[in-house]
Amino acid sequence: MTSSVIKRTAGAAALCAALLLGGRVLAHCEIPCGIYGDRMRVEMLEEHFRTVEKSMAEIRRLEAAEDGNANQLVRWIVNKEEHANEIQHIVYQYFMNQRVTPVDENAGKAYERYVAQITLLHRMLVQAMYCKQTTDAEHVQKLSTLLHAFEHVYFEEPEEHSHHH
């Protein structure tokens, strides 16, 4: 890596931090309105995954270019950070805070389902963090795999107690 690429990347990182600290993320309301779009949130996550992946590819391309455009590099880094933040926001603020309800540890299968959901969501938060730190698209693939596993657990109907008539 040439010293000019290192300087451009360091400058880009500093500018990204300044822009991100000034940003604000809008939340789904925390009042019990009863209006939730779980499937829509999953689709939003998938869109953010694709955007992070494209941003990573563009960052790698610009870093490799001899005449890499520092302005474009900064814009793609900021874009990657913003979308990784949105992933974390949906996972944490929407699913963990509002949709996945804590279950008593003596609740058997319901508790196992709860633990599985929280574990998958936590792993998604960590992968989104890695997406901020790197341009390794493997983290996006892991996010996608985790989301599909979460969908399976989250949207499956909980086993009802069998009723004998």
Q: For residue 12, what pLDDT band results from cuts at 50, 70 and 90? A: low
Q: For residues 36 and 98, is the Cβ–Cβ distance under 8 A?
A: yes
The mean pLDDT of 140-148, rounded to a whole number, is 98
- Work out the pLDDT band at 143, boundaries 50, 70, 90: very high
Give one word for 19, left, alpha or beta, with left for phi > 0 and alpha for psi -120 to 50.
alpha
The answer to whether residue 70 scores a pLDDT higher than 70 is yes
Where are the domains positioned within the chain? 3-22+36-155
Confidence of residue 7 (pLDDT cuts 50, 70, 90): low
Mean pLDDT score across all residues of the chain: 84
pLDDT in tens, 78-89: 999 999 999 999
pLDDT value, residue 67: 82
Task: Name the range with the highest mean pLDDT among 17-31, 65-79, 130-144.
Answer: 130-144
Residue 71 has pLDDT above 80, yes or no: yes
CATH number of 3-22+36-155: 1.20.120
Dist CA 64 CA 111 (whole Å): 49
